[in-house]
């Protein structure tokens, strides 16, 4: 009887522990990124009454006779199975579709989490909601063509220092379209030369970020067997070219072959062009605009003359206006000048034994001796998994399972308490025998 009471006391105590774990699971049923725990029991020591014996001398063998002395906790395991994602629509909410963990800087310590409820603070730092832990990854280098070196040391993602895009002067322009092959030749001796001009314009940017409108004028100057020649002029003031602000007027020529293909630019063949210094009087301290112009996409066929500058480099200064995060963890910034730049990339960590991580609360985990070291990688590679922007990982707690466990745990606790009651009644009977 006394052994029974010791046994059931251990049962009462450990069933209470299991109920504590179940209660914590249920309490966190709506905690993003939460991983449920489970309790594993095991029996404890046995008191041997007799040992077993082998068959001998015409007698069969006997088994051991032992009385158990109760039970104990075997383990409290973290179940790291993935959970469904929940769409939030917030672009800084991130769900990991894999086995990875976010790395966050919490004070002087690097911790790990599955909860991707992030936001940018007033300084432009990507932070975990609630505790302010800084999400870690790699920043772009504006001095190296905005490259992101994922082999570099991890750092807190702080895009505040990347919120201003310096202006870039225009240095390249591409033309497209067609010049009508039926356009008459302009007679340089006739009034109103050049006749039949085709005029288009495009904005360019200087080194200080100021924009300037540049006008281009095309007109036909000659035709021979198998080829035609056009000239182009560039003006800054207006599209009428009243001040005759030509650039290299004698050499600005375009030659087309009999099929309407551009074969010669400025006397060079194959078709090419050298940088041109635009006739813009810059008095703002900016450097002269030197522009390389690509005319190779222009054709000369019969039909409407429609020539335009399709693309030009350069842009004014811009401020960061919005961001987006891709499934690969790249944070892309959209600036007020409509330029886009990759600003940073979020890192993920994987572990040999994620169940071995130490839970420190606030949905954060710490590396332990049984979890293994963190293996840092990028989203979308390996088993870390890609990110799902605008979503959060839900808790992996299954309420139906928890309710079943709660009922069986309650029944186990009740049964153990009944053993104490029965043992007490039996002891009372022994006491009464003395009377």
Domain co-membership, 155 together with 243: no
Domain final position from 312, 340, 370:
312
Domain co-membership, 24 together with 117: no
**What is the mean predicted confidence (pLDDT) over 27-52?**
88
Domain final position from 287, 312, 337:
312
Kindly state the tokens that stand for 337: 């000048």
Helix axes 2-27, 399-433, angle to 10 degrees: 160
Domain co-membership, 184 together with 269: yes
Residue 274 lies in domain: 172-312
199-223 residue pLDDT tens: 999 999 999 999 998 889 899 999 9
Domain co-membership, 367 together with 423: no
291-311 residue pLDDT tens: 888 898 999 999 999 999 999
Overall pTM > 0.85: no
Percent pLDDT > 90 in the chain is 65
pLDDT at residue 189, rounded to an integer: 82
Residue in 280, 313, 292 with CA at minimum distance from that of residue 213: 280
Omega before 393 cis (within 30°)? Answer: no
Whole-angstrom Cα distance, residue 346 to residue 331? 8
CATH number at residue 266: 2.60.98.20
pLDDT at residue 202, rounded to an integer: 92
Domain co-membership, 332 together with 271: no
Percent pLDDT > 70 in the chain is 94
Domain co-membership, 290 together with 203: yes
Domain co-membership, 177 together with 252: yes
Domain co-membership, 191 together with 305: yes
pLDDT at residue 280, rounded to an integer: 82
**What is the mean predicted confidence (pLDDT) over 344-366?**
95
For 262, what's the count of Cα atoms within 13 Å in the CB-facing half-sphere?
Answer: 22
Burial class (CB in 10 A: 0-12, 13-18, 19+), 373: exposed
In degrees, rounded to 5, the angle at the alpha carbon of residue 94 between the alpha carbons of residues 89 and 100 is 155
pLDDT at residue 94, rounded to an integer: 97
360-409 residue pLDDT tens: 999 999 999 999 999 999 999 989 999 999 999 999 999 999 999 999 99
pLDDT over threshold 70, residue 128: yes
pLDDT at residue 277, rounded to an integer: 81
49-108 residue pLDDT tens: 778 888 888 888 878 887 877 888 889 999 999 899 999 999 999 999 999 999 999 989
pLDDT over threshold 90, residue 118: yes
Q: For 124-133, 368-377, 378-387, 419-428, which range has the lowest pLDDT when averaged over its residues?
A: 419-428
Domain co-membership, 177 together with 269: yes
Domain co-membership, 181 together with 265: yes
Domain co-membership, 76 together with 90: no
Name which residue leads in pLDDT, 239 or 6: 6
Domain co-membership, 374 together with 419: no
218-262 residue pLDDT tens: 999 999 988 999 998 888 766 566 554 555 555 688 999 999 999
Overall domain count for the chain: 3
């Amino acid at each position: 009887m006394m052994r029974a009471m010791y046994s059931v006391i251990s049962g009462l105590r450990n069933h209470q522990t299991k109920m504590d774990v179940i209660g914590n699971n249920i309490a966190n049923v709506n905690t993003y990124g939460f991983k449920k725990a489970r309790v594993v029991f095991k029996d404890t020591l046995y008191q041997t009454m007799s040992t077993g014996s082998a068959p001998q001398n015409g007698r069969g063998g006997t088994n051991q006779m032992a009385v158990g002395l109760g039970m104990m906790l075997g383990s409290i395991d973290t179940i790291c199975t993935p959970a469904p994602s929940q769409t939030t629509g917030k672009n800084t909410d991130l769900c990991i579709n894999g086995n990875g963990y976010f790395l966050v800087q919490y004070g002087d310590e690097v911790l790990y989490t599955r909860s991707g409820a992030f936001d940018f603070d007033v300084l432009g730092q990507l932070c975990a909601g609630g505790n302010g832990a800084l999400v870690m990854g790699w920043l772009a280098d504006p001095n190296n063509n905005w490259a992101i070196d994922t082999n570099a040391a991890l750092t807190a993602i702080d895009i505040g220092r990347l919120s201003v895009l310096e202006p870039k002067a225009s240095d390249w322009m591409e033309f497209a379209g067609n010049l009508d092959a039926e356009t008459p030749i302009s007679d340089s001796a006739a009034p109103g030369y050049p006749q039949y001009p085709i005029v288009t314009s495009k904005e360019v940017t200087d080194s200080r970020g100021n924009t300037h409108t540049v006008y281009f004028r095309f007109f036909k100057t000659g035709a021979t067997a198998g080829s035609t020649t056009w000239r182009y002029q560039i003006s800054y003031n207006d599209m009428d070219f009243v001040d005759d602000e030509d650039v290299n007027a004698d050499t600005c020529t375009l030659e087309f072959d009999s099929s309407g293909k551009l074969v010669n630019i400025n006397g060079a063949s194959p078709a090419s062009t050298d940088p041109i210094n635009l006739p813009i009087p810059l008095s703002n301290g900016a450097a002269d605009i030197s522009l390389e112009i690509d005319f190779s996409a222009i054709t000369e066929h019969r039909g409407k003359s429609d020539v335009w500058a399709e693309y030009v480099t350069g842009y004014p200064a811009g401020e960061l206006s919005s961001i987006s995060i891709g499934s690969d963890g790249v944070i892309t910034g959209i600036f007020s000048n409509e330029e886009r730049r990759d600003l940073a990339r979020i890192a993920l960590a994987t572990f040999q034994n994620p169940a071995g991580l130490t839970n420190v609360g606030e949905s954060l985990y710490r590396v332990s001796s049984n979890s293994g070291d963190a293996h840092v990688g990028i989203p979308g590679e390996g088993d870390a998994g890609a990110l799902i922007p605008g979503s959060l990982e839900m808790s992996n707690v299954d309420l139906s399972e928890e309710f079943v466990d709660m009922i069986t745990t309650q029944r186990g606790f009740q049964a153990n308490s009944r053993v104490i009651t029965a043992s007490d009644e039996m002891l009372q009977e022994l006491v009464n025998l003395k009377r």
